[in-house]
Structure 1
Amino acid sequence: MIRPFALLLLLPLGLAYAQETAPQQAPAQNAPAADPAALPLAAPAQAPLQPFVADYEVYRAGKRVGDATLQVAKLDGDRWRVDLGLRGTRGLARLAGLNIEQSTLFDVVGGRYRPLSQATVRHAIFSGKENTGTYDWNNRTAVWEGDVKKERRAAVALQDGDMSALLINLAIVRDAQPGKHLQYRFVDDGRVRNHEYAVSTELEKVTVDDLDYNAMRVARVRSGNEETILWVSYGVPTPIRMVQRKDGEDVTDLRLIQYNRSQ
């Protein structure tokens, strides 16, 4: 079964550099890539969190198997919501768990993305699974219910900075700078893990849907036989590409095709 990114697809999931910032939509077709040597050594500060909708194509083993949408919406007060939906569109991908919806309600406190509730729905032909989590910051505990393994039903003690998988993705976009080491505590689906990411010191060219980006590679370290890699680009509020591998083979590969900011 395909597991959500802790983009990881957090997604998960600091911005580096793109060939143009495209404040309202993806860069123009065939826009030339910038010369990395002409770019600054450190990324400028990222703009405050803004609503957006980003569309991706989903690949496995080099073949397109579905589509995905990542969306951040501003709600009343200081509350936000981030949603990720994956839809299998080809052959066995429709039967292999590639129909997933994830959502995290959150607020922003002291510059941190603080989860308030989380939900995951996995659709299948004959059955489906759903679980929900509640982050109680007054009592500093988080609990999950629904289709959750018995050993994951116990309350989890919360620490400042804890995030869901989707929020880690957004935090990476916010935090990445050349050569920086990123650390987050993943608290999602009744699990607690320390996630560490290494940001490349040099830009690399990433071609997605015939568009060239000069982007930073952000790779999770010390994750055993699993790999999570994101490419982020300055001026783009969402990862350019998100890859999850297991035993050296791609499990999911999300490639940005367009995005739009909203108010």
Structure 2
Amino acid sequence: MIRPLALLVSLPFALAHAQETAPQQQEAVPAQDAAATDPALLPLAAPAQAPLQPFVADYQVYRDGKRVGDATLQVVRLEADRWRVDLGLRGTRGLVRLVGLNIEQSTLFDVADGQYRPLSQSTVRHALFSGKKNTGVYDWSTHSAIWQGDVKKDRRAAVPLQDGDMSALLINLAIVRDATPGKQLQYRFVDDGRVRNHEYLVSPELEKVTVDDLDYNAMRVNRVRSGSEETILWVSYGVPTPIRMVQRKDGQDVTDLRLIQYTRSQ
């Protein structure tokens, strides 16, 4: 079973609330059409990432080099300075749904002192004959979080919160925001009743990453000290979402998300 990707990561996902709708999106720009001016192709001296803004990104999902599904990652601006990030994975090959590739996850959040602060989180896992759902609430007035639904018994107790704590989906957004060559990144993962310290190392040099026939100059970001699990993200200046996200366990690919296109909105 795939866990949330602080990649998503640890894979983070959620049902969009029916009453909350995304702003009208601009026309999607395939990566190939934007190649001539894409900031991802700028040299190392490119500026830092732009402030958070809404976007929709489409990915293809691979496992062991074979395409097994599609994914959509989006950030939506809501009222009262609130935001929502959603990730949905959909399996497209035979019995893929039996191995955990039909998942939806969301985190409702705000931005406090420049930090992405989770307010609630939900995960829905679809299976062939059943499904599982859990929801979590981050109460910053009491600095505690609690999860309900299909949650293991040892994860149902309230979790004490610290300033800066984030869900897996928010950690992905923070990596895009914070990555610079050679930098070490540290975040505290609080999601699904679990608490973990996540540490990432950004490669000192840019490397070429080819996705959907487009070459990006990207920063490779590796999670360190993660045991048998390996998480790698590639991020590029000016692109609001990771170019590629790979999660491996015991040396074998679990998920490999490759960006196809993304759309910004106001």
The answer to whether TM tops 0.5 is yes
TM-score (norm 2): 0.89
Q: Partner residue of 1:192?
A: 195
Asked whether the 8 Å contact 2:28–2:261 carries over to 1, the reply is no
Aligned to 1:166, what secondary structure does the other structure show? helix
Q: Deviations over 1:161-207 (max 9, x none)?
A: 00000000000000000100000000000000000000000011111
1 CA distance for matches of 2:191 and 2:232?
19
Would the aligned equivalents of 2:234 and 2:243 in 1 still touch at CA under 8 Å? yes
Q: Tell me the equivalent position of 1:256.
A: 259
SS of match in other structure, 2:58 = strand
SS in 1 for 2:239: coil
1:4 aligns with 2:4: yes
The one of the two structures with greater contact order (alpha-carbon pairs below 8 A, sep at least 6) is 1
Matching residue within 230, 242, 247 for 2:245: 242
CA distance in 2 between partners of 1:105 and 1:227 (Å): 27
> Partner amino acid for 2:180?
Q
Match of 2:21 in 1: none
CA RMSD of aligned residues (A): 2.2
Query: Per-residue deviation at 1:93?
Result: 1.0
Which secondary structure state, in structure 1, belongs to the residue aligned with residue 170 of structure 2?
helix
- Aligned partner letter, 2:224: V
- The letter of the residue matching 2:8 is L
Distance of 1:109 and 1:241 partners within structure 2: 28
Output the CA distance in 2 between the equivalents of 1:156 and 1:25.
41
Which residue is equivalent to 1:19? none
- Written as runs of structure 1 = structure 2, the 5 A alignment for 1:73-222 is 73-222=76-225
User: Following the alignment from structure 2 to structure 1, what is the Cα–Cα distance between the partners of residues 80 and 118?
Assistant: 15
Paired residue secondary structure (1:178): coil
Over the matched positions of the two proteins, sequence identity in percent amounts to: 80
Rounded Cα–Cα distance in structure 2 between residues aligned with 1:245 and 1:124? 22
Corresponding position of 1:27: 31
Partner of 2:23: none
1:66-101: CA deviation from partner (whole Å, max 9, x where unpaired): 000000000001100000000001012122111000
Offset at residue 29 of structure 1 (A): 4.7
1:55 aligns with 2:58: yes
Q: Would you say how many aligned residue pairs link Structure 1 and Structure 2? A: 252
SS at the partner of 1:91? coil
Partner of 1:68: 71
Q: In the TM superposition, what whole-angstrom CA distance separates every residue of 1:91-120 from its partner, at most 9, and x where no partner exists?
A: 121221110000000000000000000000
How far apart, CA to CA, are the structure 1 residues paired with 2:98 and 2:29?
Answer: 33
Deviation at 1:32, TM superposition (A): 7.0
Match of 1:141, as an amino acid?
S
Q: Judge conservation of contact 1:241–1:253 (CA < 8 Å) in 2.
A: yes
Note the residue ranges of structure 1 that are not aligned, 5 or more in a row. Answer: 14-22
Which amino acid is 1:63 matched to? K
Contact residue 10 and residue 168 of structure 1 kept, 8 A = no
Normalised by the size of structure 1, how large is the TM-score? Answer: 0.90
CA contact (8 A) 1:11 1:169 kept: no
